Structure 1
Amino acid sequence: MHKWVGAVAVGLILAGCEEKTATLAQGDSPFPPTGDVTRLQSVDGLAVGHRLMAAGQFELALKAYLRAAGEQGTTVDVLSALGSVNLRLGRLGQSEQLLRRAIKTDQTFVPAWNNLGVVLMDTGRVGEASRVFKTAFALDSGKSDEIRENLRRALAKIENPAYTSEKDERAFDLVRRGNGRYLLLQAP
């Protein structure tokens, strides 16, 4: 009886295979469809990274910014974004290096100047941070309240090294989002 049941099972399995091969013979392929992938456009890595930064997903934002660097090269936008995400990840040394490279690439790029000031404040170099915030404030023509506040806090810290307030614990940084638009991110 076992031999008969086994033979029926093998027969059913083979019958199932025949249907699959018959379907494949009619023109279907087991391989993915082919086509011209050059027509497909990927989403800009910087835009994705900015959205991930806003959502607090800093590791994923770093990956998106690295992808943007691979696609666009190390532009001032990419360097500044990489510096900003490293700042959020607590990698202050890497952040400082990337932001200084961004400033070297474009000395008028306000977010890089401001974010460098935030790094310098976090590392205790208040005097240099105030000079950097002054540069960012001047380049921004005083339009950004956040940069003004960062400068005010740095100057207050210079005048009174013991100065602290609850607001000082919540540093700001800017991330550029396309044609002159900035997204203000507030540290948690």
Structure 2
Amino acid sequence: MTARRIGPPLLLTACLLALPACEDTNRLSPITSGPNAPTGVARGQSVDPLIVGHRLMEAQEYELALQAYTRAIPEHGLNSEVLSSIGTANLKLGRASQASHYLRKALDQDDTFVPAWNNLGIALSALGEYYEAREAFRVAFALDNGATEDIRQNLIRAEDNIAALSRDEEIDSDFMLVRQGNGRYLLVSADE
């Protein structure tokens, strides 16, 4: 079998078709409108992974949120907000023991961080530590000065759960997770 030589017209056509793949993409016009257009980020800047994690939590993408919070560590360090966020994502993923670990670490960093106290109360409730959970909700409520309705409702549920234990009744597991800022997350039991 002899090799065929590609003629100049065919070679030229192949090169012209491949040329756009070699083009510098920085000269392409960015998407500036439509559903896929980026918002709030100038060209060359990156989005804070902590904010991305919060948005993913709101979108109920808890595993992706956990990954975003982990990516926030080099930028923010292991501060109370990052640790609390990692704990909260773990809680939404049903990993109460891991959540408790990270939320306690967040409180080691800042023992006045209200979302960490509240969410620790939820983790402890999920682990069956109802008395300790009630105390975490009490601290969250006191530090918040009773300003957040969700924390108040969590404290009431925790008190009701302690009373239900003494009467051998069912425990209420519908607690509200909170995070810093305006967000809130409902944590409902898996048996619903």
TM-score (structure 2 length as normaliser): 0.77
Q: CA-atom RMSD, angstroms?
A: 2.6
Q: Find the counterpart in structure 1 of residue 50 from structure 2.
A: 46
Q: Which has the higher contact order (CA 8 A, sep 6+)?
A: 1
Deviation (angstroms), 1:119: 0.3
Gaps of 5+ in 2: 28-42
Tell me, yes or no, if structure 1 residue 91 matches structure 2 residue 88. Answer: no
Alpha-carbon distance in structure 2 between the residues aligned to 1:124 and 1:30: 60
* CA gap 1:46/1:19 in 2 versus in 1, 3 angstroms: closer
Question: Does the CA-based 8 Å contact 2:97-2:127 persist in structure 1?
Answer: no
Alpha-carbon distance in structure 2 between the residues aligned to 1:110 and 1:79: 13
Deviation string, structure 1 residues 44-87 (Cα, Å, up to 9, x no partner): 11111111101110111111111111221111110010000000
Tell me, yes or no, if structure 1 residue 187 matches structure 2 residue 191. Answer: no
Q: Find the counterpart in structure 1 of residue 133 from structure 2.
A: 129
Q: How does 1:15-164 map to 2 (within 5 A)?
A: 15-17=12-14, 19=16, 40-161=44-165, 162-164=168-170
Question: Does the CA-based 8 Å contact 2:126-2:173 persist in structure 1?
Answer: no
Alpha-carbon distance in structure 1 between the residues aligned to 2:169 and 2:154: 14
Equivalent AA in structure 2 for residue 16 of structure 1: T
Question: Does the CA-based 8 Å contact 2:57-2:89 persist in structure 1?
Answer: yes
Alpha-carbon distance in structure 1 between the residues aligned to 2:155 and 2:52: 30
Alpha-carbon distance in structure 2 between the residues aligned to 1:50 and 1:30: 36
* CA gap 1:32/1:138 in 2 versus in 1, 3 angstroms: same
3-state SS of the aligned residue for 1:182? coil
3-state SS of the aligned residue for 2:107? helix
Q: Find the counterpart in structure 2 of residue 14 from structure 1.
A: 11
Question: Does the CA-based 8 Å contact 1:156-1:163 persist in structure 2?
Answer: no
3-state SS of the aligned residue for 1:74? coil
Once the two structures are aligned, what percentage of the paired residues are identical?
41
Aligned length: 168
Give the greater-gyration-radius structure (CA): 1
TM-score (structure 1 length as normaliser): 0.79
Equivalent AA in structure 2 for residue 49 of structure 1: G
3-state SS of the aligned residue for 2:147? coil
* CA gap 1:51/1:18 in 2 versus in 1, 3 angstroms: closer
